Amino acid sequence: MSGAAVSLSRLRKEALVEQLRRRLQDTGLVVVTDFRGMKVKEMNELRRRLRDVSAEYRVVKNTLARLAVQGTPMEALQESFVGPTALAISLGDPVALAKALRDFQREWDAPRVKLACLDGRRLEASELERLAQLPGREVLLAQLLGLLRSPQGALVRVLAGVPLKMVRVLEAIRRVKEGKGD
C-alpha cells in the first residue's frame, strides 16, 4: 500500500515539475524571492497586484524548482533555490512585473529578491530595479508609433504645401483677371 502511495506522490511531483517547466519556458521574466516575514494578507495582496499585471506568484519547493529549470533558459536560477522560495512569473510585460514587485517592496519591505532571469539572462536585484525604471510596454509602443508617424506627417505636410501654394497662386491670378486683385 505504501508503494502505491509513494508512486502517486512521485507522479504528482513529476506533474508539478513538468507544469512549472512549461510555465518557465513560456515566460520572459522570472524573479526568485525569499518570502520570509510575509503574512498571509501580504502574500494575497502581492498575488492580486501581480495578477493585475499578468503575472503570478507561487511558493515552490526548492528541489522541484531545481528540476523544473534544468534544460530551460532559466537554468541560471538554480543556485538561488535555497531557503523559503517563491517565484514571480511574468505572463505578459516583464517591466510591469518588475515595477509591481518594486512598488510592493517599497510598501511592505518584502519579499526580498534573490535573483531574476530575463529571457535566459541572469539579473541581480539591482538590475531588476533598473528594469523597473523603464517605461512600460504600452508607453514604449506609443513612443515608437510617434516616431514612425513623425516623418510621414512631415512628408504629407511638405507634399500638401506645394499644391496648396499652387492653388493660392491660381486664385490670385483669377482675382487679378477679374479685376478684384491688388
Which amino acid type is present at position 74?
A: M
Cell of 155: 512628408
Residue whose cell numbers read 483677371: 177
Long-range contacts of residues 3-6, Cβ cutoff 8 Å, at least 24 apart: none
Which DSSP letter does residue 91 get? S
Q: What is the pLDDT of residue 8?
A: 60
Q: How far apart are CA 75 and CA 117, in angstroms?
A: 9
Long-range contacts of residues 175-181, Cβ cutoff 8 Å, at least 24 apart: none
The pLDDT averaged over each successive group of 10 residues in the chain (182 residues) is 62 92 88 94 96 94 94 89 95 92 93 92 92 82 76 72 78 82 54
Q: How far apart are CA 38 and CA 111, in angstroms?
A: 7
Cell of 173: 491670378
Angle, nearest 10°, between helix axes 62-69 and 2-25? 50
Count CB atoms within 10 A of the CB of residue 173: 11
- Chain-centre distance of CA 139, in angstroms? 12
Sheet containing 112-118: order of strands: 55-59, 86-90, 29-34, 112-118, 121-123
Are 62 and 81 a contacting pair, CB within 8 Å? yes
Peptide bond preceding 111 in cis form (omega within 30 of 0): yes
Are 100 and 59 a contacting pair, CB within 8 Å? no
Q: How far apart are CA 175 and CA 40, in angstroms?
A: 82
